Each structure stands twice: as C-alpha cells, then as structure tokens.
Amino acid sequence: MKILFILFLLTSSIFAQDVSTRYDVHVTMFGHVGYADVTLSENGREYEMKLVAKTIDVAAVLLSNRVETFTSKGKIKDGKYLPDIFIKTKETTKKTRVQTYYFDHNKKEITLIEEKSKMVNRMKFDSETFTLKLKEVEEKSRNEEILDTYTDSDALSSYLNSKHGCSSKQKNHIIVAIGAHNDKNDVSYSCLEGSKRQAAMLNFSAGIENIYNLHVEPLDKDDKIVDVLVAYDSDGFLKEGLMDEVFWIGKMSAKRVYHEISKR
C-alpha cells in the first residue's frame, strides 16, 4: 500500500486555489484495485492537502477493506510548504491506527501521538445464562513521544515542494520527510531528460510535461528495486504513474480520471 500511496503524491500548486483530483489504480493481475482522492486548498499563506486511498473488489477482500488517509496542514513561506500537523490514518475491518505529528519549527521538534484500536475476541461471563461467551470487544492504546530527529517536511508537503525539480539545476533530489522516509529505506526522485525522457514518454498518454523517476529503497536489501515513473501534466499536476513488474502481480499504474482546479 505504501507504493500505492506514493503514486498519488507528486502534485504542485499555484497561489490561491482549490484542487480536487481522483486517480484510478490498476494492477495487471487483478485489474482495477482501488482509487485515491486528492484535495488541496491554499491561499498563498496557508495550505491543507488530503489524500484518501481506498481498495475495492478483490484487493479490498485481500487487504481487509483497507483505507489510508493522509492530511497535511501548514503555512506557505517564501513559496515553501511548511507543515504544522501531519496525520496518517490506516483503517481495516477490525483495526485503526492514527499517527498525528505536530511540528515545532522554532524548537526543531516533532511530537508524535499514536492511537490504536482493534476488535478482539474475549471470553465474557454472561450473567443471564451463567456461561462464558466469546464476545468481540475493542482494545485501545495511546502513546506520545518526541521524535529523536527533526525534519521540516512531511510526505505531502515534500512533494508539493518538488514542483520545480525539472526546472532547477539540481536534477536529483533526496527526500527526508515524515511519512516518506525512515532509517531503513531512502526515497529520492530525479528528473528525466533527453533519451531517457523520450523512452519514458512511450508509457504515457499525450499532454505530459515532466517525468520523474521515483526511487524507494526496499526494506529488505535482497529485494528487487522497482522504481516508479511519475508524469506531470502541463498544468503542473500529477497525471499518471507507472510501476514496473512487482513479483507475480504484474505492473501497477495510476491514471487521473477526474481533475478540477478552482481559482480564488
């Protein structure tokens, strides 16, 4: 699901606007496996971006109706998106995990509050029948901590800040952001140019402006590295994403099926 999430992230913005976009996700083995809705609202000073990724049909059954939601809220300073809060939620049929990150850029601290709940079976005494019965009950936990390391970006704000990647002199970018990077796997992206860009264009539809290669180091170093090609439209927003063969399930692709920009 993390790769599915990454496919929907690369997007940018221009001043005061509201953006609403939907991407459909397909996998060779299963066909249409899910979709992601992305909304972005900004006024030049503040922004809020939300991504909701849902599985459907066979994928929903295999992944227990998983829904992942990512929200980033913060300020825009000198054209850079700085998050105040980043919320990552994962829900399945019987489990929910909510990770809320609070950024203190003055103190260079990030506070994480993690809340979990799950439905479990427990033996309960039934006073009416004087018997033990198996009942489903909810277990909850909450943990709060200050992270050991500080970064001024989360996964969504980091990608919002990537919109000038192909126009800058630096073509390769390392991403260090909450929700996109940890000590075990590095994430980076590079702008494709020349013959590499021409070859990549064959995988996409018309109207593509810039193409990036998104590289995610696998958690298991013995695993095959499968990079993702992401293509921006001429309006500066992600249009399509393509990931090559993954094990036995085949290729994964994300295509934009709805896109509306409202200027304010």
Q: pLDDT digits over 232-250, tens only?
A: 887 777 888 888 766 656 6
> What 3-state DSSP class applies to 61?
helix
Q: Report the candidate in 70, 81, 72, 80 with the shortest Cα–Cα distance to residue 102.
A: 72
101 membership: H or E segment, kind and range: strand 95-104
Q: Can you tell me the mean pLDDT for 98-127?
A: 90
Q: Report the candidate in 160, 198, 126, 155 with the shortest Cα–Cα distance to residue 42.
A: 160
Cβ(130)–Cβ(147) below 8 Å = no
Q: Can you tell me the mean pLDDT for 130-153?
A: 87
Q: Can you tell me the mean pLDDT for 14-24?
A: 75
Token pair for 200: 């990549």
pTM of the model as a whole: 0.79
Token pair for 201: 């264009």
Instruction: Say if residue 152's pLDDT is above 70.
Output: yes
What percent of the chain has pLDDT above 70?
A: 81
What integer pLDDT is reported at residue 213 of this predicted model?
A: 85
Sign, CA torsion 8/14/19/21: negative
Q: Report the candidate in 22, 241, 54, 50 with the shortest Cα–Cα distance to residue 160.
A: 50
Q: Which residues does 191 contact at the CB level (< 8 Å), separation at least 6?
A: 165, 166, 171, 210, 211, 212
How confident is the prediction for the chain on average, in pLDDT?
80
Higher pLDDT, 169 or 220: 169
Q: Can you tell me the mean pLDDT for 28-54?
A: 87
Cβ(34)–Cβ(54) below 8 Å = yes
